[in-house]
Structure 1
């Protein structure tokens, strides 16, 4: 019976009852449709920067942290961060990661920012496509206020595999007691000059 349940999960058109010989004949003709999706990080357009952020929660709720990476249109690293956030939920970690990263974008005077995250909830709330859950309403309000300061800002969803660097940095935050921020000062000064 366990074998049948496994087969039925992969090939839903197999129905019970079947004897073993009928099942074997049917399996010989089964074709498993595989869908392959190319996953890659795409550079932002010229004069734009892309901020990838991610939040991490060890439990939900539990210890939370944030990670993110900011890159220019050449794909060059401008800034990355890993920040412990205390206690909260995974959704709170996602929003706090975006807030932290966008705060740095504002401080560095970037006007055209693409915020790319692997949280569909965050994207839907940011774009007002979904009612904001009460548990993150104050953080989303701060995020929307902050984003109104950017002349051009986009918030898009990406698959977790394309957000690997931010994901890794968010998980690293659980080993820290204070924020870790890395600036690529050479690229920051060159990029800032080109974006003015």
Structure 2
């Protein structure tokens, strides 16, 4: 399910990890343009941490054209971007609603819903996402991924602690390795540069936008 050109499978549940970040916007763009069909249900899932997202929301909104879906949806994506940018400075702006609106503009027939979950004590973001994907019976999990030099050199720790417990967790890598369903890590390469995708069986798979 990495790229286009496929017949639509029976309706699936596709979950996109939704955060106010450029990586999350790229994951949503990939999902809408390459991965979901009108017969699917798209779930925007956000792990709530209010002290975190409020500090990054403005940076996310100032990125031009993050919700662009390519030439086929240029008009719709432009409207979505205008809507998001018009919300700059509004403290009560709900980025999840803006993402949902972008989905409706890009794929009007697609069923979209928003799910939120607060991280429980003793758990972290990765295990919270994993548990929720199992609970909802998700078929495909999509998450924005950022590859940094430190991530490549240090790897990631397992939630709950391990011999590698002092290393920062890479949520996307953990989900790719441990999800029962197909999990796709997405790196968006510019507005027209395509996507670098990672799954359990495909590493650094290049897909043109």
TM-score, normalization by structure 1: 0.30
Higher helix share: 1
Higher strand share: 1
The structure with the largest alpha-carbon Rg is 1
TM-score, normalization by structure 2: 0.29
